[in-house]
Structure 1
Amino acid sequence: MTKKDLPKDYVPKNSSMARNEEEIEDLGKQMEHRRTGEVLKEDYDKVPDPIQFDKANEKK
């Protein structure tokens, strides 16, 4: 199935890998323009990522 075969508003049922080099390049461009955690904190007063690690699980 090619990109031209899919409707413009098609959303896959699950996450999917990039199917070709063009999609990889597009994803790279999107990632370049993402806001960093510092920008989110300073400019938008938002928490960039939920806490996923606590000291109780820390390896000793």
Structure 2
Amino acid sequence: MLGWALTFLIIALIAAAMGFGGIAGASAGIAQILFVLFLILFVVAMVVRALRGTPPL
């Protein structure tokens, strides 16, 4: 999921450099949503792992 967020971020940067504001804004918005979703799932996974008693890597 983090890879998809980075992909959309790169698409947004390229589109902004070429002057496509609408596509750049949409891609940046998607990248932000995916990044936040990644962070939430990461935190949930760490909490579940801690509650199970499995030591972190």
Greater RCO (CA < 8 Å, at least 6 residues apart): 2
| Greater Rg over alpha carbons, structure | 1
For the criterion TM > 0.5, the same-fold answer is: no
TM-score in terms of structure 2 length: 0.33
Higher helix share: 2
